[in-house]
Amino acid sequence: MDLIATTRQGKVRGRSHEGIAAFLGIPYAAPPFGAHRFRAPAPAEPWEGVRDALEYGPTAPKRPYRPPLDRLIPDPSVPGDDCLNLNVWTPSAGEGRLPVMVWIHGGSLRNGSASLPLYDGGAFARDGVVLVSVNYRLGVEGFGVFPDAPDNRGLLDQIAALTWVRDNIAAFGGDPANVTVCGESAGAISIAALMTSPAAAGLFHRAILQSGPPHTTSRRAGAKTVRAMARRLRIPATAEAFAAVDRELLLDAQAAVVDGSDPVRGGPGFHIVTDGDVVPAVPPLPEADLLLGCNREEYRLWFVPGGTVDRISRLTLRLALLKIRVPQRVARLYRANRPDAVPGEILGEMATDLLLRGPLNRLADSRPARTFVYEFRWRSPVMGLGACHALELGFVFDTLPAAEDLTGPGAPQPLADAMHRAWVDFAATGRPGWSEWNAERPVMVFDHPAAGPVLAPRDEELRAWL
């Protein structure tokens, strides 16, 4: 059955199935090309009549994940310029005032989209939450640092989408005064910046950070990737020069510069920068209620499929620890706690704690508002991935069939029921079902068949970094 909702730009036609209405590909800003390329998002043009919102809209320009990640994480592309669009799932278009969740996808700020079946919002709508998923500019288009263009354009896109939610979500049954913004990996890093941005003030009331800590860099450091691309293209490192380059050639140059990088091993990439405006250099402490956490073995997504974990020798491990200046006492502690681990696993465990678990715990320690911490521990049997990065997504969205590339068949539905319910409850009430962070450091461990709160897991290792 088709349904009509009225937004400030015009009417949109969605489709209802088994009581869930989906409105797909709604533009929240103008296409970011032509006169709008490398500029802040401009308002979407209004339209006459009823606009179909029956299929996913165009995705931001990008290339697929490099092998072997492309087999584990689908990254579909939908052609077209109108890539600043969003999707809405609701149980009651135009009726009631339901809690709202706005999903910001991950992908190292250069991959991903809102059109993955993994992110289907039907289960949230089934359980009384209006789910909105957002596309935003990626890579050099969204996060390249230029002297003649605004910084953090992809973040500005997210703010424009949240503004659209504030102004329009009531037409879809959502409550603009009860909005939770949630995201994973680069999406979570984006949300951490949004929580401190004056430009996003008042646009959301709670936040969920999955496997992504607060992280920004300076404009100077952020511009390195653009300069490397400019050298390859033999053009000036300006937005004007980049805008004159064919889009496919730009993606070729981007891939050549950044494709060998990942969040654990580092390398050239794209980052949110402290611009003193959208992202202040000295951010205030965010006051929104917060749910945050990560997966037990984040590193395995990058270390295992390509065999990196087995190629790291004891000598390589020693050199890596020297390079990142890991204290000897820390290295000894991790080795002692893992007597059967190979060197690559020890390095991965330390990298996970250094880059993710430690910063997230410190964020929880610093906050005046309610904070809840989780850890996802269920281990996938696929390719030895274990409890790797992104594995929790199918459980959070209750879309396990769409997650089988990572989980394998037969992933535990009771675990998806528990995790999905916690996210729904947090969006509705600000309480996911376990004690908030305090001096005892309670962490909700999601696993199967055993799950429950644990006090200060592996705290000795975390404190060893201090």
Q: What are phi and psi of 321, to 5 degrees?
A: -65, -35
pLDDT at residue 282 greater than cutoff 90: no
**What distances in angstroms separate CA 202 from CA 11, 206, 367, one per listed residue?**
26, 10, 18
pLDDT for the residue 313: 93
pLDDT of residue 107: 96
Low-confidence winner among 259-273, 361-375, 434-448 (lowest mean pLDDT): 259-273
In this structure, are residues 91 and 127 in contact, taking their beta carbons and an 8 Å threshold? no
What's the mean pLDDT in 439-455?
95
Instruction: Evaluate if residue 262 carries a pLDDT over 80.
Output: no
Confidence of residue 232 (pLDDT cuts 50, 70, 90): very high
Catalytic residue, chosen from 141, 297, 298, 345, is: 298
389 is catalytic: yes
**Contact in structure between 411 and 418 (CB atoms under 8 Å):** no
Region 210-217: mean pLDDT is 95
Nearest Cα neighbor of 105 from 185, 25, 41 is 185
CATH number for the segment(s) 1-216+269-304+363-466: 3.40.50.1820
Domain extents in the chain: 1-216+269-304+363-466
- Average pLDDT value for the chain: 94
Confidence of residue 264 (pLDDT cuts 50, 70, 90): confident
pLDDT for res 268: 87
pLDDT for 138 = 98
Residue 93 has pLDDT above 60, yes or no: no
How buried is 74 (Cβ within 10 angstroms: 0-12 exposed, 13-18 middle, 19+ buried)? Answer: middle
Residues 6+ away with beta carbon under 8 Å from 346: 317, 331, 334, 335, 338
- In the 3-class helix/strand/coil scheme, how is the chain assigned residue by residue? CEEEEECCCCEEEEEEECCEEEEEEEECCCCCCHHHCCCCCCCCCCCCCEEECCCCCCCCCCCCCCCCHHHHCCCCCCCCCCCCEEEEEECCCCCCCEEEEEEECCCCCCCCCCCCHHHCCHHHHHCCCEEEEECCCCHHHHHCCCCCCCCCHHHHHHHHHHHHHHHHHHHHCEEEEEEEEEEECHHHHHHHHHCCCHHHCCCCCEEEEECCCCCCECHHHHCHHHHHHHHHHCCCCCHHHHHCCCHHHHHHHHHHHHCCCECCCECCCCCCECCCCCCCCCCCCCCCEEEEEEECCCCHHHHCCCCHHHHCCHHHHHHHHHHCCCCHHHHHHHHHHCCCCCHHHHHHHHHHHHHHHHHHHHHHHHCCCCEEEEEECCCECHHHCECCCCCCHHHHCCCHHHHHHHHCCCCCHHHHHHHHHHHHHHHHHCCCCCCCCCCCCEEEEECCCCCEEEECCCHHHHHHCC
Q: For residue 454, which of 310, 293, 311 has the smallest C-alpha distance?
A: 293
Choose the catalytic residue: 105, 205, 271, 389. Answer: 389
| pLDDT tens sequence across 410-442 | 999 999 999 999 999 999 999 999 999 999 999
pLDDT of amino acid 204: 97
Across the range 160-176, mean pLDDT stands at 97
298: annotated active-site residue: yes
Kindly tell me if the per-residue pLDDT of 323 is higher than 90.
Answer: no
Q: Is the alpha carbon torsion for 268, 227, 74, 403 positive or negative?
A: positive
Residue 307's pLDDT band (cuts 50, 70, 90): very high
The per-residue pLDDT for range 69-87, each reduced to its tens digit, is 999 998 999 999 999 999 9
Higher per-residue confidence, 372 vs 267: 372
pLDDT at 267: 80
Least confident stretch, 61-65, 178-182, 265-269, 439-443 = 265-269
Q: Residue 285: pLDDT above 70? A: no
**What is the largest distance, in Å, between two alpha-carbon atoms of the chain?**
68
Which candidate in 92, 113, 115, 185 is catalytic? 185
Which pLDDT band holds residue 297 (cuts at 50, 70, 90)?
very high
Report whether 425 contacts 432 (CB < 8 A). Answer: yes
The model's pTM: 0.96
Question: Cis bond leading into 449, ω under 30°?
Answer: yes
**Catalytic-residue membership of 115:** no
Q: Is pLDDT at 159 greater than 90 in this prediction? A: yes
Segment 26-44 mean pLDDT: 97
